[in-house]
């Protein structure tokens, strides 16, 4: 029963804000914050239970939602340790970001609308996490898409925000196209939408391997959309048009991780399917990780850089899950939620102070904003994966998974990504907080409602990695049910050593390039203008999609068919037919003269013709 409250509380809050408390801004925000904190407290007992017994028996409950002959869909919830991890992330990080948003959104038009959407998002996100079947996941999957649409389009009067919202929704729809087909394939292969039943069927070997592979890859399409993997990654950077708390909550910590969560949920499919399915997933992840890191190098919008690093991190997680490392993937998801939310909120605090997104208009903010600065640096260290911060442990698990799998290309891509991440994260820290003063006006530290969440998150960004400390029991890796061949995680000193080395190399290069006036960086940019342009334009993906796929092919087909419709069907065939009928009618009108002798003539001619016919054939 209390599990349903997790869904009921946020949706009721959202509805109440929309219809009743819209006028009272503060009340609306308090309601929304109270709702998400209440959810957190409902989740806590489950966390305690799961910590005591990592292989806890799943709590499942369901009710019939749709029943006709031949189809019976139940809605239900399922709670195991995987669910608990996600529930905690969503409600805990969500609570902090709600509190932060109260300060950040101060004075914005549509303050209540913002909190109504946030509560709606929490509702939809918890729905995904709790779902015990594929249809329910799909429903809430679409609903988080709606929440994301509404929040990206929060400043709907800005054309760029309106475009970004539309783009996010449509690109996700393309992924969902695969997802829903995958659900159908599973349904017809196993006769069920329920995870437990599907798993039972699949593990019993009742499903052909290639069907499972097909289904797994189709479901992965959904994850590609939601977790912004190559080639559907284009919406996430644009989504930064939304307010910063939204970027932190939805487009970093929770919603974009839903794809990874889905993959973890159906990991048994990849386990039983032909290994190629998992390899495809892993390579898509690896490619995304590396590509996004490269794209981050040439950006100058602080939120966009962090957004690309999010893409890159999501690539890590997807790669790990693809290689069978569900535990490491989820571990990274958790630590990532903390340090990425922290980075976004820190960036938001900086933007709030400087009124600009460009890192070239900040600089030397550290003396002015100590709290933001310190927490941001801690988050950066976690993000880069410096020992002993959270990111170190989780990244190390993923890299060792890749290392052990024997896919050297993936391991290489992961390590290279870590190196590049070192460069651009150092770049943000140096350009925003140190070096030369480039800001205008008089920036000052944000209010406590914004800095307190930063401090809390930074504590987790530093220490959350210890959940995966080797030898700890229950260790995070064994906490997540896994079907892979991976036993308990072994700490690999070689992998850890190499990754630490490359990160420090990255930091060093970043330091060289961006200290002081950042002269070397400018020189480098002048030296390789082509390379820089390619990176700055994000490998021309958006140009290709907008300019070729959408403008030429998609709209082109529409225009051609419209031309056919208007000119060939309507004007030529239909109106032409009507015209001919009119012409014939007009011609026949000539025969109605009103002269009796004409009619008599017609009559006699008719008789003559009839007589002739009669003579011809019947005599």
User: What are the residues binding other proteins (CB under 8 A)?
Assistant: 64-71, 135, 138-140, 142-143, 146, 153, 156-159, 161-163, 165-166, 169-170, 173-174, 177, 180-181, 184, 187-188, 554-555, 557-559, 561-562, 565, 569-570, 574
Question: CB of residue 366 vs other proteins: minimum separation in angstroms?
Answer: 38
**Which is nearest to 339 in space by CA: 460, 456, 469, 504?**
460
**Which is nearest to 237 in space by CA: 549, 539, 480, 578?**
539
Peptide bond into 410 cis (omega under 30): no
Question: CB of residue 29 vs other proteins: minimum separation in angstroms?
Answer: 20
Question: CB of residue 5 vs other proteins: minimum separation in angstroms?
Answer: 17
Q: String of b and e for 204-214 (b: at least 16 CB within 10 Å)?
A: eeebeeebbbb
Cα–Cα distance list, 22 to 17, 25, 32, 151 (Å) = 5, 7, 12, 17
**Which is nearest to 251 in space by CA: 232, 230, 235?**
235
Distance, CA of 302 to CA of 226 (rounded, Å): 22
Question: CB of residue 533 vs other proteins: minimum separation in angstroms?
Answer: 29
Closer of 472 and 570 to other proteins (Cβ): 570
Cα dihedral sign for 439, 444, 449, 451?
A: positive
Question: CB of residue 378 vs other proteins: minimum separation in angstroms?
Answer: 38
- Contact indicator for 332, 398 with CB cutoff of 8 Å: yes
Closer of 208 and 565 to other proteins (Cβ): 565
Question: CB of residue 39 vs other proteins: minimum separation in angstroms?
Answer: 20
Degrees (nearest 5) of the Cα angle 453, 458, 459? 100
Closer of 53 and 555 to other proteins (Cβ): 555
Question: CB of residue 166 vs other proteins: minimum separation in angstroms?
Answer: 5
Closer of 69 and 597 to other proteins (Cβ): 69
Distance, CA of 64 to CA of 411 (rounded, Å): 46
Closer of 106 and 163 to other proteins (Cβ): 163
* Residue 38 CB neighbour total at 10 angstroms: 17
Closer of 178 and 453 to other proteins (Cβ): 178
Question: CB of residue 557 vs other proteins: minimum separation in angstroms?
Answer: 6
Question: CB of residue 584 vs other proteins: minimum separation in angstroms?
Answer: 16
Question: CB of residue 545 vs other proteins: minimum separation in angstroms?
Answer: 13
Provide φ and ψ at 352, rounded to 5°: -55, -40
Question: CB of residue 211 vs other proteins: minimum separation in angstroms?
Answer: 13
Closer of 561 and 584 to other proteins (Cβ): 561
Distance, CA of 509 to CA of 533 (rounded, Å): 20
Give the containing element (helix H, strand E) for 138. Answer: helix 134-152
Closer of 153 and 468 to other proteins (Cβ): 153
Distance, CA of 504 to CA of 499 (rounded, Å): 9
- Contact indicator for 219, 280 with CB cutoff of 8 Å: no
Q: Torsion angle of alpha carbons 372, 374, 379, 382, nearest 10°? A: 180
Tokens 């990206």 belong to 152
Question: CB of residue 68 vs other proteins: minimum separation in angstroms?
Answer: 4
Closer of 355 and 559 to other proteins (Cβ): 559
Distance, CA of 166 to CA of 174 (rounded, Å): 13
Tokens of 283: 């390579």
Closer of 42 and 170 to other proteins (Cβ): 170
Distance, CA of 17 to CA of 22 (rounded, Å): 5
Distance, CA of 318 to CA of 234 (rounded, Å): 17
Closer of 360 and 572 to other proteins (Cβ): 572
Closer of 175 and 510 to other proteins (Cβ): 175
């Amino acid at each position: 029963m209390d599990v349903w409250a997790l869904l009921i509380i946020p949706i009721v809050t959202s509805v109440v804000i929309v219809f009743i408390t819209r006028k009272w801004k503060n009340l609306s925000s308090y309601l929304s914050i109270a709702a998400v904190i209440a959810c957190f407290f409902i989740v806590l007992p489950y966390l305690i239970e799961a910590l005591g017994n990592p292989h806890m028996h799943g709590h499942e409950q369901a009710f019939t939602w749709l029943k006709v002959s031949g189809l019976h869909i139940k809605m239900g919830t399922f709670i195991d340790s995987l669910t608990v991890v996600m529930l905690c992330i969503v409600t805990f990080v969500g609570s902090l970001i709600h509190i932060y948003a109260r300060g950040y959104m101060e004075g914005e038009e549509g303050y209540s609308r913002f909190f109504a959407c946030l509560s709606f998002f929490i509702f939809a996100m918890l729905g995904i996490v709790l779902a015990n079947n594929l249809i329910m996941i799909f429903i809430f999957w679409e609903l988080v898409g709606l929440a994301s649409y509404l929040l990206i389009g929060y400043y709907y009067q800005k054309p760029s925000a309106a475009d970004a919202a539309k783009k996010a929704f449509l690109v996700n729809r393309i992924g969902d196209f695969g997802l829903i087909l995958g659900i159908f394939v599973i349904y017809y292969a196993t006769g069920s939408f329920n995870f437990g039943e599907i798993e039972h069927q699949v593990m019993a070997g009742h499903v052909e391997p290639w069907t499972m592979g097909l289904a797994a890859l189709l479901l992965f399409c959904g994850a590609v959309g939601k977790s912004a993997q190559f080639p559907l990654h284009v919406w996430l950077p644009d989504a930064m048009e939304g307010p910063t708390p939204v970027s932190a909550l939805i487009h970093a910590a929770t919603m974009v991780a839903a794809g990874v969560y889905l993959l973890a949920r159906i990991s048994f499919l990849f386990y039983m399917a032909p290994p190629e399915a998992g390899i495809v997933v892993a390579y898509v992840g690896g490619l995304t990780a590396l590509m996004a890191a490269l794209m981050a190098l040439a950006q100058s919008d602080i939120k966009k850089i962090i957004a690309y690093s999010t893409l890159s991190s999501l690539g890590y997680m997807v790669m790990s899950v693809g290689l069978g490392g569900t535990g490491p993937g989820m571990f990274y998801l958790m630590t990532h939620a903390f340090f990425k939310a922290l980075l976004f909120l820190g960036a938001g605090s900086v933007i709030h102070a400087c009124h600009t997104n460009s890192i070239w208009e900040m600089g030397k903010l550290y003396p002015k904003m100590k709290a933001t600065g310190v927490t941001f640096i801690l988050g950066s260290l976690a993000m880069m994966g410096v020992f002993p911060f959270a990111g170190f442990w989780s990244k190390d698990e993923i890299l060792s998974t890749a290392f052990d799998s024997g896919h050297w290309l993936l391991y290489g891509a992961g390590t290279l990504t870590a190196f590049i991440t070192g460069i651009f994260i150092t770049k943000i820290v140096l350009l925003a907080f140190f070096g030369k003063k480039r800001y205008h006006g008089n920036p000052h530290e944000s209010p406590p409602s914004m800095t307190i969440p930063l401090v809390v998150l930074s504590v987790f960004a530093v220490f959350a990695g210890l959940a995966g400390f080797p030898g700890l029991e229950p260790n995070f890796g064994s906490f997540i049910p896994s079907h892979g061949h991976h036993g308990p995680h072994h700490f690999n000193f070689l992998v850890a050593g190499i990754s630490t080395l490359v990160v420090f190399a990255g930091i060093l290069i970043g330091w060289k390039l961006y200290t002081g006036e950042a002269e070397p960086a400018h020189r480098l940019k002048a030296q390789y203008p082509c390379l820089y342009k390619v990176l700055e334009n994000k490998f021309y993906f958006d140009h290709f999609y907008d300019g070729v796929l959408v403008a030429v092919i998609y709209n082109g087909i529409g225009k051609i068919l419209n031309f056919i419709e208007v000119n060939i069907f309507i004007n030529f065939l239909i109106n032409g037919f009507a015209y001919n009928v009119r012409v014939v009618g007009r011609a026949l009108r000539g025969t109605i003269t009103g002269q009796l002798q004409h009619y008599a003539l017609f009559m006699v001619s008719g008789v003559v013709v009839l007589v002739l016919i009669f003579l011809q054939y019947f005599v």
